Amino acid sequence: MIKDFSVSALMMGLLTAFVGFISSFAVIMQGLQAMGATAPEVASALLAQSISMGLLAIVFSSWYRMPVSIAWSTPGAALLSGISVIEGGFPAVVGAFVVCGVLIILSGLFRPLSRAIRLIPAPLANAMLAGILLSLCLAPVKAVAFNAALGLPIVLTWMVVVSRWRLWAVPASLGALILVLVFGVDLPPDAMAQIGQAIHPSLTFVTPVFTLHGVISVALPLFIVTMASQNIPGMAILRVHHYEPPPGVMFVGTGIFSILGGLVGGVPVNMAAITAAMCASEDANPDPARRYWAAIVAGFGYIVFGLIAGGIIAFVSLAPPILLQAVAGLGLVGAFANAAFAAYRDPETREAAAITFLVTASGLSFAGISGAFWGLVAGGVMMTLQRFIQTLKK
């Protein structure tokens, strides 16, 4: 096994961990804070998720000798940002995380459940995701309006870098945020001491509360988004690169760790899509049989990032919240564009997709249930009605 190790796998693994963590941890923070999590609970969540991602990547990649990359559910965290605090507070959200993990396990054990997710029309699933992401993607605009001197350097940095080095765009915008913090914000005199004290997070157990509201408003949409935008595409990317991972084992493994991580505040973990493509590419190793080392190195990298997550959170928390939201929003622009394009590509389902998008993006809830769920329902009703009328015409 050691003889398969290469410098190219080492470099790609380190890059994968850096991009995977830095490009989306702000979204995770924003989503958890929107649901009422405290700073220690957010740090606990990042620690648990990073360790889960790392351990799963190391074990799966070593066992199956293929580059299995694991990520946290970034679209799922974006979903949380659009829901707001639910009845029962953060413990009810943790209960929903546990339910979501159980559903992921069941999708691995019972194939009809994973097939049912695939039966959700792709335009509607993408429209729901685009609606979820919209509010976060507007944050960079709001940041510039809040303070152009602070917001513009972040946005302009992202625009320049994404035009040439797409993978480095979000890390670069985060670097711009750090510079803005250092040179543009009056930091407290003891800022570095605070960061040093908080650098190593500890796991904070949250007693889950199970409510019907939490299941319908959080668990079900989170499960659908995680499966449709992460797990299923992640498996597809590995297959495109001629790997055949066992979906049942992968889903059960990520589901178990999603439950364990959920009990300390973490959103679900799942098969990665973007970082999976990085580890499975020729840049990791010209020999496909040796690329699994890139995912193993990335796994160790995630664990290291998790162990210092407290310091990272303490530092970025010194910035006005809208600036962190701006970085998170910039990191989701590509996902929003892809989801919107896929949602409106087919003229026959365009109206149904538009209704799904608008209901979801409204941020409104009906009967205590979030707009993401009702967006799918409204779009599904519209699509069914259109098809029924078309059938009558024939």
pLDDT single digits (tens) 128-155: 778 877 877 888 899 899 888 888 988 9
pLDDT higher at 4 or 386: 386
The pTM assigned to this predicted structure is 0.72
pLDDT higher at 62 or 235: 62
**Cα dihedral 307/328/28/11 (nearest 10):** -40
Residue 325 lies in a domain: yes
Angle formed by the axes of helices 309-316 and 169-184, nearest 10° = 60
- Percentage of residues of the chain with pLDDT beyond 70: 87
Q: Is pLDDT above 80 for 236?
A: no
> Would you say 107 and 227 are in contact if contact means Cβ atoms under 8 Å apart?
yes
Q: Is pLDDT above 70 for 297?
A: yes
Residue 388 lies in a domain: no
Q: Is pLDDT above 90 for 201?
A: no
Q: Two tokens at 8?
A: 């190219």
Q: Give the pLDDT band (50/70/90) at residue 19.
A: confident
SS3 string of 120-152? CCHHHHHHHHHHHHHHHHCHHHHHHHHCHHHHH
Q: Is pLDDT above 80 for 22?
A: no
Burial class (CB in 10 A: 0-12, 13-18, 19+), 124: buried
Residue 381 lies in a domain: no
CA distance 76 to 103: 14
Task: Give the torsion sign (CA, 113, 118, 123, 128).
Answer: positive
Angle at 284 between CA 282 and CA 289, to 5 degrees: 80
Task: Give the torsion sign (CA, 337, 340, 341, 342).
Answer: positive
pLDDT single digits (tens) 153-179: 889 999 998 888 776 787 788 788 888
Range of lowest pLDDT (231-245, 285-299, 378-392): 231-245
CA distance 109 to 37: 32
For the segment 18-26, the average pLDDT, to the nearest whole number, is: 76
pLDDT of res. 374: 79
Residue 355 lies in a domain: no
Q: Give the pLDDT band (50/70/90) at residue 259.
A: very high
- Which range of 223-237, 259-273, 303-317, 326-340 scores highest in mean pLDDT? It is 259-273
Boundaries of domain holding 254: 2-332
Q: Give the pLDDT band (50/70/90) at residue 217.
A: confident
How many domains would you assign to the chain? 1
Please state, as a whole number, how many other Cβ atoms lie within 10 Å of the Cβ of residue 278: 23
Long-range contacts of 120-123 (CB under 8 A, 24+ apart): 120/224, 120/228, 120/376, 121/349, 121/352, 121/379, 121/380, 121/383, 122/342, 123/342, 123/343, 123/344, 123/345, 123/346, 123/349, 123/350, 123/352, 123/353, 123/356, 123/379
- Percentage of residues of the chain with pLDDT beyond 90: 21
For the segment 368-384, the average pLDDT, to the nearest whole number, is: 77
Residue 380 lies in a domain: no
pLDDT of res. 210: 92
Q: Is pLDDT above 90 for 105?
A: yes
Strands (DSSP E) found in 60-194: 70-72
pLDDT single digits (tens) 315-364: 777 777 788 778 777 877 877 887 788 888 888 888 888 998 888 888 77
CA distance 109 to 22: 33
CA distance 307 to 219: 28
CA distance 33 to 43: 11
Q: Give the pLDDT band (50/70/90) at residue 189.
A: low
Buried b (16+ CB within 10 A) or exposed e, 12-36: bbebbbbbbbbbbbbbbbbbbbbbb
DSSP assignment of 204-270: --------HHHIIIIIHHHHHHHIIIIIHHHHHHHHHTT----HHHHHHHHHHHHHHHHTTTPPPEE
pLDDT higher at 192 or 31: 31
Residue 379 lies in a domain: no
For the segment 238-260, the average pLDDT, to the nearest whole number, is: 87
For the segment 268-281, the average pLDDT, to the nearest whole number, is: 80
pLDDT of res. 365: 62
Residue 354 lies in a domain: no
pLDDT of res. 62: 92
pLDDT single digits (tens) 29-70: 888 888 888 888 888 999 999 999 999 999 999 999 999 989
CA distance 339 to 356: 12
Q: What is the mean pLDDT of the chain?
A: 82
Residue 340 lies in a domain: no
pLDDT of res. 198: 59
From the list 208, 194, 275, the residue with the least C-alpha distance to 241 is 275
